Homo-oligomer: A and B are copies of this chain.
Amino acid sequence: MASMSLTLAVDLGGTHIRTASYNDESITPISRYRTRTNAREPGVFDRLAQAIENVWNDDVTSMGVASPGPLDPYTGTILATPNIPEWRNFPLAQKLSARFGVPVHLDNDANMAGFGEWTFGAGKGHHNLVYLTISTGVGGGVICNDALLQGFHGLATELGHMIIDPDGPPCGCGKNGHVESFSSGTAIARYTTEQIQAGQKTSLQLDGAALTAKQIADSALAGDSLAISAFARAGQYLGIAVANYLAIFDPSIVIFGGGVSQVGDLLFKPFEKSLYEHTFHPHYLDNLVITKAALGDDVGLLGALAWARFKRNNESTRAE
């Protein structure tokens, strides 16, 4: 009689910790749990361990974790993530593995989301895929030649931190002119705020609380021209960024995830115009698919699930 084998998936986000356990062959969880991360308060690891306990089952044989980076996926160590100040060179995979007694496979959230979309979502069957998440930041995950691109230190495909204008605005990371400093939700809000402070007319109000990309999107949809131009600018630079990713990776599909990518034409009409204008050679666009992510809020969990299964299959093959 074949023993049952379950996989446990963890999506450790800046706001929420999500956990779920899955039977083999299924992407519908047996059990799932969600709690607040409270990332800036002590005890993140204990909250995480408790969230895992809540979906634990003794048939679990491996665990996958999608975590904020930068991190070292080969050792499972979080280097230093801005969201969780108490973790510096924190051996997360090792600690989870010691506590739960199963192998733990870790990579950053964008890589896991890209791997999830490739395995279960919009990118199934593609051999060269670029996944981009546009939310408060900009992250990327890339499949080249049917393999996740991780790189020598496991730090590959930090696509949001590609410099597209050395004199551009500051990025959350402290450098300047990154894709993230033009096209993230944070960048859209900062640009809009600066324009209001400079006297641009708008229906938006600066009343002490920081503007959000969501508020600006609502104003844009109501016809506010500053709000429209803020998304147009983000889309213009996103087109430059993706033209670069085409020249670099030549993918057959580009997948957009993340909250800001939900705004639709506000961002993507200017994006498309800019992409066509900046693409190095028109042949890159032949049969190229540009599409939205398919896995929704579960993309982190499903990516971690896909990765844990992949690593288990890969390592058992090697051991034979």
Partner-contacting stretch, out of A37-45, A153-161, A219-227, A295-303: A153-161
For window 94-137 of A, CB contacts with B under 8 Å fall at: 127-128
Partner-contacting stretch, out of A58-66, A183-191, A281-289: A281-289
**Can you report 24 A-B residue pairs in the complex whose CB atoms are below 8 A from each other?**
A70-B281, A128-B152, A144-B145, A145-B145, A151-B251, A152-B251, A152-B287, A153-B283, A155-B247, A155-B250, A155-B281, A156-B250, A157-B250, A158-B281, A159-B248, A161-B247, A161-B280, A162-B244, A162-B248, A163-B244, A164-B166, A175-B278, A178-B280, A248-B248
Task: Select the residue from A149, A159, A178 with max chain B CB neighbours within 10 A.
Answer: A149
- The main secondary structure of chain A at its interface with chain B is loop
Give the shortest distance, in Å, between A277 (CB) and chain B (any CB): 9
Whether the pair B149, A145 counts as a contact (CB closer than 8 A) is yes
In the complex, whether A265 has a CB less than 8 A from a CB of chain B is: no
Compute how far the CA of A163 lies from the CA of B245 in the bound complex, rounded to whole angstroms.
10
> Taking CB as reference atom, which chain B residue is nearest A140?
B248
Q: Which of chain B's residues have a CB closer than 8 A to the CB of A249? A: 149, 151, 156
Whether the pair B152, A252 counts as a contact (CB closer than 8 A) is yes
Compute how far the CA of A251 lies from the CA of B175 in the bound complex, rounded to whole angstroms.
21
> Taking CB as reference atom, which chain B residue is nearest A70?
B281
In the complex, whether A255 has a CB less than 8 A from a CB of chain B is: no
Compute how far the CA of A271 lies from the CA of B85 in the bound complex, rounded to whole angstroms.
33
Q: Which of chain B's residues have a CB closer than 8 A to the CB of A218? A: none
In the complex, whether A263 has a CB less than 8 A from a CB of chain B is: no
For window 218-259 of A, CB contacts with B under 8 Å fall at: 240, 243-244, 247-252
Compute how far the CA of A158 lies from the CA of B280 in the bound complex, rounded to whole angstroms.
9
Whether the pair B164, A152 counts as a contact (CB closer than 8 A) is no
Give the shortest distance, in Å, between A319 (CB) and chain B (any CB): 20
Compute how far the CA of A209 lies from the CA of B318 in the bound complex, rounded to whole angstroms.
62
Whether the pair B250, A151 counts as a contact (CB closer than 8 A) is yes
Compute how far the CA of A26 lies from the CA of B278 in the bound complex, rounded to whole angstroms.
44
Give the shortest distance, in Å, between A51 (CB) and chain B (any CB): 28
Q: Which of chain B's residues have a CB closer than 8 A to the CB of A192? A: none
